[in-house]
Amino acid sequence: MTFIEALRTILPKQEQVSVNTTVLEHHSKDVTSYHPGVTPDAVVFPSTTEEVSRVLHYANQNGIPVVPFGIGSSVEGQVVPVKGGISMDLTQMNAVLEVRPEDFLVRVQPGVTRMQLNQHLKEYGLFFPVDPGADATLGGMAATNASGTTAVRFGTMRDNVLGLTVVTADGSIIHTGGMASKSSAGYNLTGLFVGSEGTLGTFTELILRVYGIPEHVLAVRAVFPDVGTATHAAMGMMMCGLTLDRVELVDEHTVKVVNAFKETDFSEAPTLFLEFSGSRSTVDSSFMLAKEILTEEGCTELEFDTDQAVRTRLWAARHDAAFAFSASQPGKKLMTTDVCVPLSVLSDAIVEARRLIDENGLDGAILGHVGDGNYHAVLVVDPEDETDMNRASHVNAEIVRFALERGGTCTGEHGIGLGKAKYLTNEHGESAVLLMRAIKSVFDPNDILNPGKIFL
């Protein structure tokens, strides 16, 4: 019996195992990243935890690599089956299993996307806040410990995943965490699986924290003379204990490119994008204080609104930034840096990143989650052009070096995947990486779970 025949006996329906070239190609790489693709030998579409378990049990016994796949919005090559084998597409497992409004939690399958979930939650007056930009699957978001613009208020995936059903390498089905909002019962397996990028197990169910939809949302665009004053203003607001849902920074050059591409006329200077939410009165009073701080810190232009359409327009230069760069150079790919630094060095880090980009003749946006110290230089690259790629890799490496020397991390929210594996030991030291490898060996002794990722 061939490998494909075996998979067909494991999964009941014909369409659950595919070797179609287009399907294989679609599962070979991240949608937008620069990482070169590698086609899997087969793509499987399980529909239950038990089917995932049977596939893994078979793969483990036969030493076949298995790489989980959602919508492919990972940016560090996490979904690339670098050693071939099976791409496990979880998009058929896309049911919202249970909404528990009074418990502020939901149970979902891993293929549910965040927008799908929010659509579903609307009628309950609830929402799931983690927003990485892409309409990623929740399984994928948990796998990379994704976060995004709302982390300053709602935290990362790790803060919002309360429990998991996970199938480990040998096909064992385990349950971690639960429905309690906190627990001190034994080792934190949930937190270990979140961010493990498919290398410790495949998630087949998630219990997530959800929140009440706020009565009122206020969006703000605040322009500053330089990056330093903008970040300082953000810190001033945090110091006062102001509850900010989002605090984003876009640098001067990025606004210029957005203006050119979208024919807008935003002031071409470093800009903070803020969002407040809550009851009308709490939002108003928070914003009153914020306005005082922003003005004191040198804000030269301030626009704000609560209307959904106006809010979208106000935030356009933030939302369109990466797209403007990428769409202005069709056919190219993105190399997105992702360091996260202590807040006090964020301003210097961003200035240094812009200098590195310019000095190396590259083009790219700079976007920062200022509340977290996490920022991205979104470099537009041609993967076929070796000089281009070398320059971009050099800039990425220098940005990481700058961050690690100051106590930061090489990845705030995208994960290690293929692209950051070379920095893992620099960041954590050899002893810590040895412990990580030992954990990997315990969970996956035959190295079939997304092999070649995280560790060099």
Instruction: Identify residues 91-120 at the interface with a second copy (CB under 8 A).
Output: 100, 102-105
**CB burial string 17-41: b at 16+ within 10 A, e below:** bbeeeebbebbbbbebbbbebbbbb
Residue 375 CB, shortest distance to a second copy, in Å, is 11
> Residue 96 contacts by C-beta under 8 Å, 6 or more apart in sequence?
106, 107, 108, 109, 112, 116, 117, 120
Query: Does 16 contact a second copy by CB under 8 A?
Result: no
Residue 109's alpha-carbon distances to 59, 325, 357, 409, 443, in angstroms, are 22, 34, 41, 30, 22
Structure tokens at 183: 């627990």
Which positions from 199 to 218 touch a second copy by CB under 8 A, shown as an x/- string? -x----------xxxxx---
Question: What φ, ψ does residue 376 adopt, rounded to 5°?
Answer: -120, 130
Which positions from 43 to 72 touch a second copy by CB under 8 A, shown as an x/- string? ------------------------------
Query: Does 90 contact a second copy by CB under 8 A?
Result: no
Rounded to an integer, what distance in angstroms lies between the CA atom of residue 341 and that of residue 335?
A: 19
Applying CB under 8 A, among 2, 21, 22, 431 the residue interacting with a second copy is: 431
For 211, the enclosing helix (H) or strand (E) is strand 211-212
Which of 216, 253 has the CB closer to a second copy? 216
Residue 387 CB, shortest distance to a second copy, in Å, is 29
Instruction: Identify residues 354-373 at the interface with a second copy (CB under 8 A).
Output: 372-373
3-state DSSP: the chain helix, strand, coil percent, rounded to 5? 40, 20, 40
Residue 120 CB, shortest distance to a second copy, in Å, is 18
Structure tokens at 422: 């070379």
Residue 90 CB, shortest distance to a second copy, in Å, is 20
- Binding region for a second copy (CB under 8 A) out of 11-19, 219-227, 337-345, 391-399: 337-345
Which of 42, 249 has the CB closer to a second copy? 249
Instruction: Identify residues 181-200 at the interface with a second copy (CB under 8 A).
Output: 181-189, 191-192, 194-196, 200
Query: Does 168 contact a second copy by CB under 8 A?
Result: yes
Which of 191, 210, 96 has the alpha carbon at shortest distance from 145?
191
Q: How big is the chain, counted in residues?
A: 456
Instruction: Identify residues 259-288 at the interface with a second copy (CB under 8 A).
Output: 277-279, 281-282, 284-286, 288
Applying CB under 8 A, among 408, 419, 451, 452 the residue interacting with a second copy is: 408
Which of 214, 219, 218, 220 has the alpha carbon at shortest distance from 278?
214
Residue 432 CB, shortest distance to a second copy, in Å, is 5
Contact 232, 238 (CB under 8 A): no
Which of 320, 338 has the CB closer to a second copy? 338
Which positions from 293 to 332 touch a second copy by CB under 8 A, shown as an x/- string? ----------------------------------------
Pairing outcome for strands 42-44 and 86-89: parallel
Query: Does 123 contact a second copy by CB under 8 A?
Result: no
